[in-house]
Amino acid sequence: MSLTRLKEFLDAHNIQYVVISHSVAYTAQGIAALTHIPGRELAKTVVVKIDGALAMAVVPASCHVDLMRLKQATGAAGVQLASEDEFRSKFPDCETGAMPPFGNLYGMDVFIDESLSRDKEVAFNAGSHRELVRLAWADLERLVQPKLMKIAAAISTATAA
């Protein structure tokens, strides 16, 4: 979703938000460092397949999606990461890997790690690798109506890239 489209959606719902521009960055941890936002407050959207259907799993930038926890929490028979080829066409107005956590606009379920609900605000990619949007958690929850569950696991320094 281009920033213009996201802004129009948020404006139509009378949402207060801040746009944060930054240098091009492709990793959530890199974006967090550039924007001085703690990794636990920056939401990272990961596209997964749950029993073959695309969905969004959203975790803090400082974590990764624990596929086993997601499988158990959803009661699914199978959960796996979706490949870029499998989801790229679903987001024609977003740069690959920079999708905002608005699966409701793309016909996808959204599963968000419960830890993101602990802060009053949340920031996330706005459809590009150069801009974030920061808004109240309550507004995101109201607009997206995600399923909250424990699906994040800490990134170990041995496996972090």
How far is residue 82's CA from residue 88's CA, in Å, rounded to a whole number?
10
Domain ranges for the chain, please list them. Answer: 3-154
Q: What pLDDT, in 10s, does the model give residues 13-61? A: 999 999 998 888 888 878 888 888 887 889 999 999 999 999 999 999 9
Summarised one tens digit per residue, pLDDT across range 73-103 is: 999 999 999 999 999 999 988 998 899 999 9
Q: pLDDT band for position 159 (50/70/90)?
A: very low
Give the class (CATH, top level) of 3-154.
alpha beta
pLDDT value of residue 161: 40
Sign of CA dihedral 95, 126, 73, 65: positive
Sequence-ordered alpha helix ranges (H) in the chain: 3-12, 28-35, 67-74, 84-87, 137-144
